[in-house]
Structure 1
Amino acid sequence: MKRNIVIATLTAAALATGGTVAAFAAGDDETATQRQSSAGTQVVADRDDADDRADDVNDDADDADDREDDADDRTAVATGDVDVTAAEAIAAALKSVPGTAVSADLDDEDDSGKVVWDVDVLGGDTWHSITIDPATGKVLGSHTEQEDDTAQVRAALKGSSVTAAEAAQAAAAKGAVTSVDLDDDGGSRAWDVETRATGKADQDWQVDLNSGKVTTDRSDDDED
Structure 2
Amino acid sequence: MKRNIVIATLTAAALAGGTVAAFAVGDDEKAAAARPGAGGANVQVVDDRDDDATDDRSDDAAEDRTAVRAGGVTAAEAIAAALRHTSGTVVSAELDDDGGDAGTWGVDVVRDDGAEYGVEVSADGKVLDAQRDTDEESDSEDRAELAALKGAKFDARDAALAAAAKGAVTEVGGDDENGAVVWGVETVKDGVTSEWAVALDTGKVTKVTAD
Q: TM bucket by the smaller chain? A: 0.5 to 0.7
Structure with the greater alpha carbon radius of gyration:
1
The structural deviation recorded for 1:158 is 5.1
Give the corresponding residue for 1:97: 86
What TM-score, normalized by structure 1, do the two folds share? 0.60
Give the corresponding residue for 2:75: 86
The structural deviation recorded for 1:115 is 2.3
Count the aligned residue pairs: 149
Partners of 1:154 and 1:186 in 2: how far apart? 17
Pair 217,186 (structure 1): closer, same or farther in 2 beyond 3 Å: closer
Q: Decide whether the 8 Å contact of 1:175 with 1:196 is kept in 2.
A: yes
- Percent identity reads 42
Pair 103,188 (structure 1): closer, same or farther in 2 beyond 3 Å: same
Structure 1 residue 215 and structure 2 residue 206: aligned? yes
| Greater strand fraction, Structure 1 or Structure 2 | 2
- In the TM superposition, structure 1's runs of 4+ consecutive aligned residues that sit over 4 Å from their partners are 63-68
Partner of 1:202, secondary structure, is strand
Q: 2:163 aligns with which of 165, 171, 195?
A: 171
Partner of 1:168, secondary structure, is helix
Unaligned runs of 5+ in 2: 1-55
Partners of 2:186 and 2:125 in 1: how far apart? 20
The equivalences for 1:6-85 within 5 A come to: 68=64, 70=65, 74-75=67-68, 78=69, 80-82=70-72, 84-85=73-74
Structure 1 residue 142 and structure 2 residue 130: aligned? yes
Q: Decide whether the 8 Å contact of 1:152 with 1:184 is kept in 2.
A: no
The structural deviation recorded for 1:65 is 7.2
What TM-score, normalized by structure 2, do the two folds share? 0.63
Pair 158,127 (structure 1): closer, same or farther in 2 beyond 3 Å: closer
Give the corresponding residue for 2:104: 116
Give the corresponding residue for 2:192: 201
Letter in 2 for 1:139: V
Partner of 2:128, secondary structure, is strand
The structural deviation recorded for 1:164 is 0.2
The structural deviation recorded for 1:189 is 1.2
Q: Decide whether the 8 Å contact of 1:191 with 1:207 is kept in 2.
A: yes
Letter in 2 for 1:106: L
Partners of 1:120 and 1:163 in 2: how far apart? 13
Unaligned runs of 5+ in 1: 1-59
